[in-house]
Each structure stands twice: as structure tokens, then as C-alpha cells.
Structure 1
Amino acid sequence: MTAIVKGSKVRIKRKESYWYNEVGVVASREKEPTKSRYPITVRFEKCNYYGLQGVDGGNTTNNFSEKELELVTA
């Protein structure tokens, strides 16, 4: 199995996430993942619902654990 590293394309598998089943790019990953519950930051093309409401421009990144991500190949 290939590791999820910076620049990898991943599909989100956290059901309660706004980006569920969307594909994003890993922006960063903590060196010591045991220190954080969600050590992987993923960047997306579209912004979340905050942007649709006109609040603060919306978010285009979110943090996830490795088990909530699926590596996208090709």
C-alpha cells in the first residue's frame, strides 16, 4: 500500500464532512501523527458552506485522520 504524502490526491471518507466523497490534495502532514487526532491537511477546489453564506470567504482546507482518506490513483 502506498503512503499518503504531501501532494497525494485523496478521496474523503468521513461521512459528516462537507467534502464527503470529494477529491482533494494533501497540503501537509504532521511528522509525528500521534500528537494530533487529525494530522493530515487536505486542500479542495471548492469552498465549504461558509463561502456560500458569504461568511469569511469559506474554507478550502480541512484536517483528517489517515483512516478517513482513500488514496486516489490515476
Structure 2
Amino acid sequence: EMSNHCWKLWNSSVMTWDGRVVPCCFDKDASHQMGSMMTDSFRSIWRSKNYFQFRNAVLSSRKSIDICQNCTEGTKVWA
């Protein structure tokens, strides 16, 4: 069962080769861009409204987010 939480959203992120910041490594196509290091500081991206809204979406309905559907973070893998 998938829980509505993900510790990675508060502890790490991923930067693509061209400076785009995405929430995690499951976002292979950078479809959930939080910002760009080419134009903004990491601190401002991390604290941005975009990141805040994505974190809230995970807390309210993680299973509705495409990149979260195949992730085992926060799930019970072993009985």
C-alpha cells in the first residue's frame, strides 16, 4: 500500500545535465520541473511555491502523481 509521504522531497532532489531541478530520480523526463539552476539559486528553488505545491500534492494524493506510481518509497515491501 502506498502512503502519502516521501522523505526525499524534504531531503534531496535531482539536477539534470542542463540545470533543471526535479523532485527525484523517478522523473526521468524532467516532467515535474521545480526550477532551473541556470536562472535561480538552489535555495530559492527548494523554497519555491512550485516545490511547496508538489510536496502538498504528494501528502494529499501521492498515487495520482505519475512518477510516484512505480516508487517503493514509503511502501511496505515486506510483510
* Higher strand proportion (structure 1 or 2): 1
* Higher helix proportion (structure 1 or 2): 2
Give the alignment's TM-score, normalised by structure 1.
0.29
Give the alignment's TM-score, normalised by structure 2.
0.28
